[in-house]
Amino acid sequence: MTEKHAAPQLEVRNLRKSYDDGRIEALRGVDLSIHAGEYIAISGASGSGKSTLLQLLGGLDVPTSGQVLFEGQPLNKIGLDDYRATQLGFIFQAFHLIPTLKAIENVQVPMLATGADASTRATRAEALLVEMGLQHRLNQFPNELSAGERQRVAIARALANNPSVLLADEPTGNLDSVNSAHVMDLLRGIQKDRGMTLVIVTHENDIAHAAPRHIRIRDGKIES
Protein backbone atom coordinates (compact mmCIF):
# COMPACT_ATOMS: atom_id res chain seq x y z
CA MET A 1 0.00 0.00 0.00
CA THR A 2 1.07 3.56 -0.63
CA GLU A 3 2.42 5.31 2.41
CA LYS A 4 2.25 9.01 1.68
CA HIS A 5 4.13 9.93 4.83
CA ALA A 6 7.14 7.70 4.12
CA ALA A 7 10.12 8.99 2.14
CA PRO A 8 9.50 8.72 -1.60
CA GLN A 9 10.94 5.73 -3.41
CA LEU A 10 11.53 7.72 -6.59
CA GLU A 11 11.92 11.47 -6.65
CA VAL A 12 12.77 13.96 -9.36
CA ARG A 13 13.88 17.48 -8.58
CA ASN A 14 13.76 20.31 -11.09
CA LEU A 15 14.40 17.85 -13.90
CA ARG A 16 15.33 19.31 -17.26
CA LYS A 17 16.23 17.57 -20.48
CA SER A 18 17.05 19.30 -23.70
CA TYR A 19 18.24 18.04 -27.08
CA ASP A 20 19.91 19.52 -30.10
CA ASP A 21 22.17 21.87 -28.11
CA GLY A 22 19.29 23.17 -26.05
CA ARG A 23 17.07 24.05 -29.01
CA ILE A 24 14.52 21.38 -27.99
CA GLU A 25 13.44 21.30 -24.35
CA ALA A 26 11.69 18.00 -23.62
CA LEU A 27 11.39 18.59 -19.86
CA ARG A 28 11.36 22.04 -18.29
CA GLY A 29 11.81 21.64 -14.56
CA VAL A 30 9.76 18.66 -13.39
CA ASP A 31 9.33 17.83 -9.70
CA LEU A 32 7.71 14.54 -8.79
CA SER A 33 7.66 12.12 -5.86
CA ILE A 34 6.60 8.51 -6.21
CA HIS A 35 6.12 6.28 -3.18
CA ALA A 36 6.78 2.57 -2.97
CA GLY A 37 3.78 0.54 -4.15
CA GLU A 38 2.13 3.42 -6.00
CA TYR A 39 0.40 2.97 -9.34
CA ILE A 40 0.78 6.09 -11.45
CA ALA A 41 -0.25 6.87 -15.00
CA ILE A 42 1.52 9.65 -16.90
CA SER A 43 -0.32 10.96 -19.92
CA GLY A 44 0.15 13.74 -22.40
CA ALA A 45 0.19 14.52 -26.07
CA SER A 46 2.91 13.29 -28.40
CA GLY A 47 6.11 15.23 -27.73
CA SER A 48 4.91 16.41 -24.33
CA GLY A 49 7.92 14.80 -22.61
CA LYS A 50 6.20 11.87 -20.90
CA SER A 51 8.47 9.20 -22.42
CA THR A 52 11.54 11.32 -21.70
CA LEU A 53 10.46 11.50 -18.05
CA LEU A 54 10.08 7.71 -17.95
CA GLN A 55 13.53 7.22 -19.53
CA LEU A 56 15.09 9.50 -16.93
CA LEU A 57 13.23 7.76 -14.11
CA GLY A 58 14.58 4.46 -15.47
CA GLY A 59 18.17 5.62 -15.79
CA LEU A 60 18.15 5.03 -19.55
CA ASP A 61 19.28 8.59 -20.10
CA VAL A 62 20.81 11.34 -18.00
CA PRO A 63 19.16 14.71 -17.35
CA THR A 64 20.56 17.98 -18.65
CA SER A 65 20.06 19.32 -15.13
CA GLY A 66 18.21 18.35 -11.98
CA GLN A 67 18.26 15.04 -10.17
CA VAL A 68 16.57 11.66 -10.07
CA LEU A 69 16.76 9.98 -6.66
CA PHE A 70 15.99 6.37 -5.80
CA GLU A 71 15.39 5.82 -2.10
CA GLY A 72 17.08 9.15 -1.45
CA GLN A 73 20.21 8.35 -3.46
CA PRO A 74 21.03 10.14 -6.75
CA LEU A 75 21.04 7.58 -9.59
CA ASN A 76 24.57 8.43 -10.64
CA LYS A 77 25.75 7.37 -7.17
CA ILE A 78 23.92 4.04 -7.33
CA GLY A 79 25.20 3.28 -10.81
CA LEU A 80 22.74 3.25 -13.69
CA ASP A 81 23.49 -0.34 -14.79
CA ASP A 82 23.02 -1.77 -11.31
CA TYR A 83 19.88 0.33 -10.82
CA ARG A 84 18.34 -0.93 -14.05
CA ALA A 85 19.39 -4.53 -13.39
CA THR A 86 18.19 -4.86 -9.81
CA GLN A 87 15.48 -2.28 -9.12
CA LEU A 88 13.66 -1.80 -12.41
CA GLY A 89 11.59 -3.72 -14.88
CA PHE A 90 10.99 -2.09 -18.27
CA ILE A 91 8.04 -2.74 -20.55
CA PHE A 92 8.09 -1.12 -23.98
CA GLN A 93 5.42 -0.40 -26.54
CA ALA A 94 7.40 -2.30 -29.22
CA PHE A 95 8.05 -5.24 -26.82
CA HIS A 96 11.77 -5.21 -27.66
CA LEU A 97 12.25 -8.96 -27.38
CA ILE A 98 15.41 -10.42 -28.86
CA PRO A 99 14.22 -12.10 -32.05
CA THR A 100 16.85 -14.86 -32.08
CA LEU A 101 15.97 -16.10 -28.58
CA LYS A 102 13.01 -18.24 -27.52
CA ALA A 103 10.47 -16.85 -25.08
CA ILE A 104 12.04 -18.63 -22.10
CA GLU A 105 15.50 -17.43 -23.13
CA ASN A 106 14.32 -13.84 -23.50
CA VAL A 107 13.06 -13.94 -19.91
CA GLN A 108 16.43 -15.24 -18.72
CA VAL A 109 18.47 -12.44 -20.31
CA PRO A 110 18.12 -9.90 -17.44
CA MET A 111 19.16 -12.57 -14.94
CA LEU A 112 22.52 -12.85 -16.73
CA ALA A 113 23.21 -9.31 -15.53
CA THR A 114 22.79 -10.34 -11.89
CA GLY A 115 24.82 -13.54 -12.11
CA ALA A 116 21.99 -16.04 -11.47
CA ASP A 117 23.01 -19.61 -12.25
CA ALA A 118 21.56 -21.48 -15.21
CA SER A 119 19.16 -23.64 -13.23
CA THR A 120 17.80 -20.68 -11.24
CA ARG A 121 17.36 -18.72 -14.46
CA ALA A 122 15.49 -21.53 -16.20
CA THR A 123 13.23 -22.28 -13.24
CA ARG A 124 12.33 -18.66 -12.63
CA ALA A 125 11.78 -17.88 -16.32
CA GLU A 126 9.44 -20.84 -16.67
CA ALA A 127 7.51 -19.88 -13.52
CA LEU A 128 7.07 -16.30 -14.77
CA LEU A 129 5.88 -17.41 -18.20
CA VAL A 130 3.43 -19.84 -16.58
CA GLU A 131 2.20 -16.94 -14.44
CA MET A 132 1.63 -14.97 -17.66
CA GLY A 133 -0.39 -17.88 -19.05
CA LEU A 134 2.28 -18.80 -21.58
CA GLN A 135 3.17 -22.30 -20.37
CA HIS A 136 2.48 -23.64 -23.89
CA ARG A 137 4.68 -20.99 -25.59
CA LEU A 138 7.96 -21.35 -23.69
CA ASN A 139 10.00 -22.44 -26.66
CA GLN A 140 8.53 -20.18 -29.31
CA PHE A 141 10.51 -17.42 -30.94
CA PRO A 142 9.01 -13.90 -30.80
CA ASN A 143 7.94 -14.01 -34.44
CA GLU A 144 5.88 -17.12 -33.64
CA LEU A 145 3.91 -15.30 -30.93
CA SER A 146 0.92 -12.95 -31.20
CA ALA A 147 1.36 -9.30 -30.16
CA GLY A 148 -0.41 -9.96 -26.86
CA GLU A 149 1.78 -12.96 -26.15
CA ARG A 150 4.91 -10.98 -26.95
CA GLN A 151 3.93 -8.28 -24.50
CA ARG A 152 3.29 -10.92 -21.83
CA VAL A 153 6.78 -12.36 -22.47
CA ALA A 154 8.11 -8.80 -22.10
CA ILE A 155 6.26 -8.44 -18.78
CA ALA A 156 7.74 -11.74 -17.59
CA ARG A 157 11.18 -10.46 -18.61
CA ALA A 158 10.58 -7.21 -16.69
CA LEU A 159 9.83 -9.26 -13.56
CA ALA A 160 12.85 -11.55 -13.96
CA ASN A 161 15.04 -9.89 -11.33
CA ASN A 162 12.11 -9.20 -8.97
CA PRO A 163 12.35 -5.41 -9.31
CA SER A 164 10.70 -2.95 -6.96
CA VAL A 165 9.58 -0.63 -9.77
CA LEU A 166 7.89 -1.41 -13.10
CA LEU A 167 8.12 1.25 -15.80
CA ALA A 168 5.85 0.75 -18.80
CA ASP A 169 6.03 2.96 -21.87
CA GLU A 170 2.73 2.71 -23.81
CA PRO A 171 2.45 -1.01 -22.96
CA THR A 172 -0.81 -1.37 -24.88
CA GLY A 173 0.14 0.85 -27.80
CA ASN A 174 0.57 -2.07 -30.22
CA LEU A 175 -2.31 -4.21 -28.93
CA ASP A 176 -5.96 -4.65 -29.84
CA SER A 177 -8.60 -3.90 -27.22
CA VAL A 178 -8.87 -7.50 -25.95
CA ASN A 179 -5.13 -7.93 -25.50
CA SER A 180 -4.84 -4.40 -24.17
CA ALA A 181 -7.36 -5.17 -21.41
CA HIS A 182 -5.59 -8.47 -20.65
CA VAL A 183 -2.19 -6.81 -20.32
CA MET A 184 -3.55 -4.03 -18.11
CA ASP A 185 -5.24 -6.63 -15.87
CA LEU A 186 -1.94 -8.45 -15.59
CA LEU A 187 0.00 -5.27 -14.73
CA ARG A 188 -2.56 -4.16 -12.14
CA GLY A 189 -2.53 -7.66 -10.62
CA ILE A 190 1.25 -7.73 -10.42
CA GLN A 191 1.38 -4.25 -8.87
CA LYS A 192 -1.21 -5.20 -6.27
CA ASP A 193 -0.01 -8.72 -5.45
CA ARG A 194 3.67 -7.87 -5.26
CA GLY A 195 3.36 -4.36 -3.88
CA MET A 196 5.44 -3.03 -6.75
CA THR A 197 5.54 0.56 -7.89
CA LEU A 198 3.98 0.81 -11.35
CA VAL A 199 4.52 3.83 -13.58
CA ILE A 200 2.70 3.72 -16.90
CA VAL A 201 3.10 6.24 -19.68
CA THR A 202 0.03 6.22 -21.90
CA HIS A 203 -1.94 8.38 -24.25
CA GLU A 204 -5.10 6.32 -23.70
CA ASN A 205 -7.47 8.17 -21.41
CA ASP A 206 -9.29 5.12 -20.02
CA ILE A 207 -5.98 3.58 -18.90
CA ALA A 208 -4.81 6.87 -17.44
CA HIS A 209 -8.04 7.47 -15.57
CA ALA A 210 -8.08 3.93 -14.18
CA ALA A 211 -4.85 4.60 -12.28
CA PRO A 212 -5.17 5.81 -8.66
CA ARG A 213 -2.81 8.66 -9.48
CA HIS A 214 -2.80 10.36 -12.84
CA ILE A 215 -0.23 12.95 -13.92
CA ARG A 216 -0.63 15.02 -17.08
CA ILE A 217 2.40 16.46 -18.83
CA ARG A 218 2.20 19.32 -21.25
CA ASP A 219 5.13 21.03 -22.99
CA GLY A 220 7.63 19.46 -20.65
CA LYS A 221 5.90 20.42 -17.42
CA ILE A 222 3.56 18.63 -15.07
CA GLU A 223 0.11 20.07 -15.56
CA SER A 224 -1.74 18.24 -12.81
Partner 1 sequence: MTLCGISLAIGAFVALVGFSRSFEGEWMRLYSSSGTDIAVVEKNFLNSQINESLYGKLLAVPVVEQAAPMIFNLMDLTPEVNAIAFGWLDDTYEFNSLTFESGGRFHNNKPEVILGSLLAKNLNKKVGDTLTLQGSNFTVVGIFHGGTALEAGAVILPLDQMQLLTSMQGKVSGYHVRLRPAPPGESPDLYLKRSQAAIEAALPGLNAQLASDRASNNQFVDLAHAVAWGTSAIALAMGILGIANTMAMSVFERTREIGILRAIGWKAGRVMLLIEVEAAVLGIAGGILGIGVGWGALQLLSYVPKTNVLVHTSLTPAHLLQSLVISLLSGLLAGAYPAWRGSHLSPVEALRHD
Degrees (nearest 5) of the Cα angle 153, 34, 169? 35
Query: Which is nearer to partner 1, 70 or 90 (by Cβ)?
Result: 90
Four-residue CA torsion sign, 79, 31, 88, 177: negative
Considering the complex, what minimum distance in angstroms separates the CB of residue 193 from partner 1? Answer: 22
Query: Which is nearer to partner 1, 84 or 121 (by Cβ)?
Result: 84
Determine phi and psi for 110, rounding to 5 degrees. -65, -30
Binding residues (CB under 8 A) for partner 1: these are 55, 58, 60-61, 81-82, 84-86, 88, 90, 92, 96-99, 109-110, 112-114, 157, 161
Query: Which is nearer to partner 1, 16 or 181 (by Cβ)?
Result: 16
Considering the complex, what minimum distance in angstroms separates the CB of residue 53 from partner 1? Answer: 12
Query: Which is nearer to partner 1, 75 or 208 (by Cβ)?
Result: 75
Considering the complex, what minimum distance in angstroms separates the CB of residue 94 from partner 1? Answer: 8
Say which residues have a Cβ less than 8 Å from residue 117's Cβ, sequence separation at least 6.
Answer: none
Considering the complex, what minimum distance in angstroms separates the CB of residue 108 from partner 1? Answer: 11
Four-residue CA torsion sign, 156, 8, 13, 67: negative
CA gap 99, 141 in Å, rounded = 7
